[in-house]
Chain A
């Protein structure tokens, strides 16, 4: 690259300045500042701890028991939790612990993947709509309005016959394809104001291509928004996934997710609570933990929110 990147130049300038001041005052880097603010929020730290714990549980847990999520114990039907079956057994003798771990794995992976796609899609659609005003903007925002009329849940449920019996990756793509609209609007608004800033104007007049400006200059400037949005989306997508699976429109048997497990347990929640309470409890715990992390990140990354103005 022969033309120097304006942001890099600006950053380099800033760095020299900081170094000059830093001789007598110790400058705090942004990463350190964010980390310090994040660590100050006890609930957020607790949430992060819970997320890590649940991940370890989901992926190490299945190795701690001799049962797999498909194997059946023909000597124990509908048994309450005991030392051989930690979470009890189902009507046909499946081990609820092994099933719950498998369901947790599936829900976690679907949540992380679909949220990544959602945020990515929202960033791209929103920034393109905001950067190229005119008919691109109008067309994309019309699409957003249209998709907001019918709830995503209804659309994905309607499309469920397509992926019945196919890979769950289609389900992940569909989850993301109908969840990006509101974030896209926020990104569009931010892009419109960033577009007028000097560093974008400079890049534009140097002849940098629009797509490059968006990916190199505009989207990195709103990284904190996208990180916060991703965290919140993880919780939202997992709730959507379990909801659809609850009705049989999501993860298909023989595979299990927390949603299918809760559906199977709901009808007997009053009589055989262990079929319902573990899957339900872990689901609530995970989404709650993710929401705490998101809230903490929002306060740590966005200086204008809450009382985090103090360093």
Chain B
């Protein structure tokens, strides 16, 4: 199994490098980072623009430019500077922390809720619970994240007004200029975290509940489940130990595929709830034609995909003994 995971890891690492290169090359080919400088009024002298061009390495071909950037990343852990000459590193770690908080909370809640809803819907197939969950997930799947986020704000506003105080906040990841003890800080962060997390988790729960329902339905009709009950297990035990475990195997694969969905969803959520995370940074970097920043974000995203992929491989081999023997 170690060999299997090592082979997968190598495959993912190569994909990571290629994906980052692809992002760097696409950004280099389409972005015009000098336009903002050249269009200033009064126009800067040609020598200034030329100096900027050299500073951004725009005078060398794209593969060589990527080489310069990648060398800095690999050897010195330095992601270069933005178009405005600010170091990317500081920004990257701060924003990554903010986004990861959202990713983690959203994924854990979304996956658990989705699996529970899906399993219950499958066991109670064609009963009222199943119909309600199905309708709910269809409705959520048809609603873009940015509409869900805005609707959450619209729905929560009366609650805040009725309470006369801000129970949950609509903007930012923490109150600006907030000072307090560790516990007060935690509560403040939590008040900001709830609505964005719900916005992400609700979409994931809808997706996973559909997958989990059909995976569980496949298992429910199988012979081994009947055998498990025939040898004396209670139905609940049989469903949990034999049914759910088998039905979770395909979910490991879906999880790896859906990490992109999570990242894009988080981008919208950050924009709606004005969180200063990676997603917001990505949008801003495209608007400022910032090649280095976009490449750094692409690397972050591909590392996220890599971690999700490894996680799903490990989950797969933990759930399915056949993979371990191979």
A residues sitting closer than 8 Å to B (CB atoms) are 145-146, 148-155, 157-162, 182, 235, 239, 242-243, 246-247, 249, 262-263, 266, 269-270, 273, 276, 280, 283-284, 287-288, 290-292, 295
From B21, which residue of chain A is reached at the shortest CB distance?
A146
Q: Decide if B138 touches A158 in the complex (CB within 8 Å).
A: no
Q: Decide if A276 touches B150 in the complex (CB within 8 Å).
A: yes
From A159, which residue of chain B is reached at the shortest CB distance?
B30
7 shortest interchain CB distances as A-B pairs: A151-B260, A287-B142, A288-B142, A149-B19, A153-B264, A161-B30, A280-B147
21 A–B contacts, CB within 8 A, in A order: A146-B22, A148-B260, A150-B19, A151-B260, A153-B264, A153-B267, A154-B23, A159-B30, A161-B30, A162-B30, A235-B142, A239-B142, A246-B146, A247-B283, A270-B153, A270-B154, A270-B157, A284-B139, A287-B141, A291-B138, A291-B142
Shortest beta-carbon distance from B132 to chain A in Å = 14
User: Contacts A247-B271, A284-B139 given: A269-B154 contact, CB under 8 Å?
Assistant: yes
Q: Decide if A151 touches B264 in the complex (CB within 8 Å).
A: yes
Q: Which residues of chain A are within 8 angstroms of B260 by Cβ–Cβ distance?
A: 148, 150-153
B16 at the interface (CB under 8 A from A): yes
Q: Decide if A145 touches B272 in the complex (CB within 8 Å).
A: no
B residues sitting closer than 8 Å to A (CB atoms) are 15-16, 18-19, 22-23, 26-27, 30-32, 138-139, 141-147, 150-151, 153-154, 157, 257, 260-261, 263-264, 267-268, 271-272, 282-283, 286, 289, 294, 297-298, 301-302, 305
Q: Which residues of chain B are within 8 angstroms of A151 by Cβ–Cβ distance?
A: 260-261, 263-264, 301
| Cβ-neighbour of B298 out of A154, A159, A162 (below 8 A) | A154
Q: Which residues of chain B are within 8 angstroms of A150 by Cβ–Cβ distance?
A: 19, 22-23, 260, 298, 301-302
Alpha-carbon distance between A145 and B260 when the two chains are bound, in angstroms = 13
Alpha-carbon distance between A158 and B271 when the two chains are bound, in angstroms = 17
Q: How many A-B residue pairs have CB under 8 A?
A: 111
Q: Decide if B263 touches A266 in the complex (CB within 8 Å).
A: no
Q: Which residues of chain B are within 8 angstroms of A246 by Cβ–Cβ distance?
A: 144, 146, 268
Shortest beta-carbon distance from A164 to chain B in Å = 10
Q: Which residues of chain A are within 8 angstroms of B31 by Cβ–Cβ distance?
A: 161
Alpha-carbon distance between A33 and B139 when the two chains are bound, in angstroms = 29
Alpha-carbon distance between A239 and B153 when the two chains are bound, in angstroms = 21
Q: Which residues of chain A are within 8 angstroms of B23 by Cβ–Cβ distance?
A: 150, 154-155, 158
User: Contacts A150-B23, A247-B271, A288-B139 given: A158-B294 contact, CB under 8 Å?
Assistant: yes
Shortest beta-carbon distance from A108 to chain B in Å = 15
From A248, which residue of chain B is reached at the shortest CB distance?
B287
Q: Which residues of chain B are within 8 angstroms of A262 by Cβ–Cβ distance?
A: 144, 146-147
From A281, which residue of chain B is reached at the shortest CB distance?
B147
Q: Decide if B257 touches A291 in the complex (CB within 8 Å).
A: no
| Cβ-neighbour of B257 out of A148, A239, A243 (below 8 A) | A148
From B271, which residue of chain A is reached at the shortest CB distance?
A247
Alpha-carbon distance between A292 and B141 when the two chains are bound, in angstroms = 11
Alpha-carbon distance between A46 and B173 when the two chains are bound, in angstroms = 42
Q: Which residues of chain A are within 8 angstroms of B261 by Cβ–Cβ distance?
A: 151
From B305, which residue of chain A is reached at the shortest CB distance?
A149
Q: Which residues of chain A are within 8 angstroms of B138 by Cβ–Cβ distance?
A: 288, 291-292, 295
User: Which of B141, B144, B283 has the most chain A CB atoms inside 10 A of its CB?
Assistant: B144
